Chains A and B, each alone.
Chain A
Amino acid sequence: MAQLEVVGVSKRFGNLRANDNISFSVRGGEVLAVLGENGAGKSTLMKIVSGFLRPDSGRVAVDGQTIPIGDPQAAIRAGIGMIHQHFMLIPRMTVMENLILGREPRTRLGSIDTRQAKQEVEDLSKRFGLHVDPNSPVESLSVGEQQRVEILKAFYRGAKILILDEPTALLTPQETDRLFGSIREFARQGLSVVFISHKLDEVMKISERVMVVRAGQLVDTVDTGQTDAFSLARMMVGRDVDLGASRTTSGLGNVVLTVDHLESQLSKGQPLLGPISFTLRHGEILGVAGVEGNGQQELAELLAGIRLPSSGTILLDDKRVDSLPIRRRLESDIAYVPADRQGEGLVLDLKIWENFILRDYYRPPFRKGLGIDVKVAKARTQAAVDAFDIRPNNIDLPSRALSGGNQQKLLLAREMSRNPRIMIVSQPTRGLDVGAIEYVHHQLMSLAQTGTAIVLISLELDELMKLSDRIMVLFRGQIQGIVARPEFRRDAIGLWMTGQKGQEVRQ
């Protein structure tokens, strides 16, 4: 039984203390959760443990043996297997090729011994219940399957201590459950598992002990049985957090948006999306669920005018908007907060105030002669930055200088200050920490309260269930089902997300 021991690890990036004297240990057969907000230093710590980063001080030992630091090969030899937040597979190669890459068993003639490789891989997947077809190319696998390949790869290299960095970030609820099943199996067979997450419920569910880190410091390590989500949240954020804050819907208004047989084709006969039809009411939040890449992005872009439909209509009130160009849609009070904040939402090199006026710089009150009324622009931005508590509170900084959470606040501040009638929001909390998520949720709810209709696209089912009045599930560009708030059920929605029709479709 392998035992991992980490003692006094510190790591600085410039002035930033990413890890400050952190120690912990994991026993064989144990699942240790590492809980912390984004940027708390979890990944840094695990990169140090697995040899990808060299710490400024501290040591790592397996079974009492100190291993050389900053040497990934040594870590692997010692039995440490790390599954990174971003997979490191080669898409074009098959599962088998990916698995044995760099550690190919050779025949006596020096060629790759495919028979033995196959045998080893089969044994491993049987032993741990990780099933994937060894001959299919990695690019054709779902995210969950790719993850299984990553885990298999670690085992193939002899891992006895498995480190999973935010493994559930991209999984559907069913895939998450399945992963949890596997993790329990690993622990039962005596492996040590380090499970990294910023999601409280997952941590509560899977771990024996929880280690909480905040701003590079170890806050505490507690037995999961002796704690609850609320105390963990407080440890993680450093103050009380309102976790429940559920939505109170105060009766929905008239229909504002009618989408009718909307369709977008990649080429003839190859639909990306649709035909789909739905309506949206004043003050309603319509959640759009689905596994990534099932038409959510296309839907958002069709509504925002970035992509034009091949057929179908979009009515805003009674006006057709489906062929209006982007600027005319913006002027029709349709707002769009894209998922890719840095690539599509902001111009990172421009100042905060310049980003704030990005959609309206050409019209009053910002228009002035041939130029821009900088005074007005700055005053408006300053007011919004104050109201949304965007930090640092200096509108002359480039928006690159803002953290992810503050960039998202800036985006929301910009779009909300335009008083939209309809707002399309895509992945508004992806990559944000708990405090920022809470904030974004509050803003969206209060925006809906003022009558704005919101199309909320998210991969986080919890988020959708918390905020939405109705949830619409997209699968391969089709509406797999729409369900209203009282009937929200995780498992049913999860099944829809994987293409199974489990239930009657409700409108």
Chain B
Amino acid sequence: MKKWALSALKPLLTVVLGLIVSGLIGQLTGYPASAVMSALWLGSVGTVTNFASTLVIFIPLSLTALGIAIAFRAGLFNIGAEGQYWMGAIAATWVGAMGGAWPPGVHLLAVILAAIVAGGLYAMIPGLLKAYRGAHEVITTMMLSYAAVEFGHYLIEKGPLMLPGAIPESPAIAQSATLPILVPTTELSAGIFLALGAILIAAWLMTRTRLGFEITLLGKNPKATRLAGVSAPKLTVISMVIAGAFAGLAGGVQISGVSHQLMDSFANQYGFTAIVVALLARNNPWGIIPSAFLFAALQSGAGYMQMNANIPAQMAYVIQGAIVFMVAADRMFDWAWIRFRKGRWGQMPPSETPAIAHEEVSL
């Protein structure tokens, strides 16, 4: 089998198992698996409109997941991408709502750049804390994520981005700051090209550049990386900045392409779903395409299912949950796979298994 096909096998298995488990749950709770699946299929890719709305969710999910995957590759658990996403959105809204006459395209460009910079700078903080103070990024990114969300709330509730009225929301961004819509009557904007371009860039960065090589080194073996003369602290900061830049871009594209203003619901917890997207993609930029698409389809299919097939949207979340669980249980598959290949179940003394498991997994 081709190498990439082999590496796609396990994630595929993960998804299939997730579907089977949730199908069983559906069956038991009175929603036949076939009905659920066909409703989901229709709702996510069955019509042009539904397909478009899947892609609308695909955009922020894939971009944020890229940021998470790159950090993961560097061995950094950037679980607070949600915050970087918010900061990108805040910056985009702020620049987008600026009045004045902009030459064509420049306003949009400024919005996108502002989002990238904001996300990158915000992720730099945990990067610096990790590199020079040893603060664990799981804690810092998480806390900063809450801080960013609260900051956003403050801005639209009583801060400078507040639009007077009952609903907390910001003023809409200028027309010149919005991404063109691709499919009329849908929310699908040219942001999809930004997402695909970003995936291309991330893949190029990770596989074709020295920086990508260094990031991979750092993630695989920080000690050997240091001994090779690479400055691990600097690289830690750079990796976090790049990760944050992608997440920030996601927020910016969401503002510029979809919501056009900052409000509470715009984020939709994409930053957290994206963690699973990245994990399912095994932190491979190309893998993020199917992985993000799957989760996007589940989310967009859920609404349709509820409205048109009378199946509660929760059913889609059950599926999502089952897949998330399977991703988390991924290590278990590795273990089972080895046992299977060795053809001997439970013979080795337990103390000897981990080393071997480790060995086999990476082959």
**Chain A 339-367 near chain B by CB (<8 Å), digits 1 or 0:** 01001111111100010001101100001
A350 contacts B229, CB within 8 Å?
Answer: no
Q: Is B228 an interface residue (CB 8 A)?
A: yes
**Chain B 217-260 near chain A by CB (<8 Å), digits 1 or 0:** 10011011111111100000000000000000000000000000
Closest CB of chain B to A21's CB: distance in Å? Answer: 19
A371 contacts B228, CB within 8 Å?
Answer: no
Q: What B residues does A53 contact at CB under 8 A?
A: 349
A345 contacts B224, CB within 8 Å?
Answer: yes
Known: A326-B226, A327-B229, A344-B227. A400 touches B362 (CB 8 A): yes
Partner of B224, one of A14, A325, A328, A346: A346
In the bound complex, what is the Cα–Cα distance between A371 and B210 (angstroms)? 5
In the bound complex, what is the Cα–Cα distance between A325 and B233 (angstroms)? 13
Known: A14-B342, A350-B216. A359 touches B229 (CB 8 A): yes
**Chain A 236-273 near chain B by CB (<8 Å), digits 1 or 0:** 00000000000000000000000000000000000000
A-B contact count (CB 8 A): 73
Known: A52-B349, A350-B216, A350-B220. A372 touches B227 (CB 8 A): no
A343 contacts B210, CB within 8 Å?
Answer: no
Q: What B residues does A354 contact at CB under 8 A?
A: 213
Q: Is A370 an interface residue (CB 8 A)?
A: yes
Known: A370-B209, A400-B362. A350 touches B349 (CB 8 A): no
B229 contacts A343, CB within 8 Å?
Answer: no
In the bound complex, what is the Cα–Cα distance between A372 and B211 (angstroms)? 10
Q: What B residues does A420 contact at CB under 8 A?
A: none
A349 contacts B223, CB within 8 Å?
Answer: no
Q: Write the chain A residue with the least CB distance to B205.
A: A370
Q: Is A401 an interface residue (CB 8 A)?
A: yes
B residues contacting the other copy or chain, number (CB 8 A)? 25
**Chain B 347-363 near chain A by CB (<8 Å), digits 1 or 0:** 10100000000010011
Q: What B residues does A186 contact at CB under 8 A?
A: none
Q: Is B158 an interface residue (CB 8 A)?
A: no
Known: A52-B349, A398-B363, A400-B362. A326 touches B213 (CB 8 A): no
Q: What A residues does B341 contact at CB under 8 A?
A: 14
In the bound complex, what is the Cα–Cα distance between A254 and B194 (angstroms)? 62
Q: Is A54 an interface residue (CB 8 A)?
A: yes
Q: Is A376 an interface residue (CB 8 A)?
A: no
Closest CB of chain B to A500's CB: distance in Å? Answer: 35
Partner of A343, one of B223, B230, B347, B363: B223
**Cβ < 8 Å to B, chain A residues 21-66:** 52-54
Q: Is B136 an interface residue (CB 8 A)?
A: no
B227 contacts A338, CB within 8 Å?
Answer: yes
Closest CB of chain B to A377's CB: distance in Å? Answer: 11
A398 contacts B227, CB within 8 Å?
Answer: no
B227 contacts A54, CB within 8 Å?
Answer: no
Q: What B residues does A52 contact at CB under 8 A?
A: 349
B224 contacts A370, CB within 8 Å?
Answer: no
**Cβ < 8 Å to B, chain A residues 298-357:** 304, 306, 325-330, 336, 338, 340, 343-350, 354
In the bound complex, what is the Cα–Cα distance between A345 and B221 (angstroms)? 10
Q: What B residues does A361 contact at CB under 8 A?
A: 210, 213
* Residue of A336, A347, A350, A398 ringed by the most chain B CB atoms within 10 A: A347
Q: Write the chain B residue with the least CB distance to A47.
A: B349
Closest CB of chain A to B59's CB: distance in Å? Answer: 27
B217 contacts A347, CB within 8 Å?
Answer: yes
**Chain B 55-76 near chain A by CB (<8 Å), digits 1 or 0:** 0000000000000000000000
Known: A14-B341, A326-B226, A344-B227. 19 other contacts (CB 8 A): A304-B227, A325-B229, A325-B231, A329-B229, A330-B228, A336-B227, A340-B223, A343-B223, A346-B224, A348-B362, A349-B362, A350-B216, A354-B213, A359-B228, A359-B229, A361-B210, A367-B210, A370-B210, A372-B213
Interface residues of chain B, those whose CB is within 8 Å of chain A, are: 208-211, 213, 216-217, 220-221, 223-231, 341-342, 347, 349, 359, 362-363
Interface residues of chain A, those whose CB is within 8 Å of chain B, are: 14, 52-54, 304, 306, 325-330, 336, 338, 340, 343-350, 354, 358-359, 361-362, 367, 370-372, 398, 400-401
8 contacts between A and B (CB under 8 A): A326-B227, A328-B229, A344-B227, A347-B220, A354-B213, A361-B210, A398-B362, A398-B363
Top 10 closest pairs, chain A to chain B, by CB: A327-B229, A347-B221, A326-B229, A370-B209, A358-B228, A347-B220, A349-B220, A371-B208, A349-B362, A344-B223
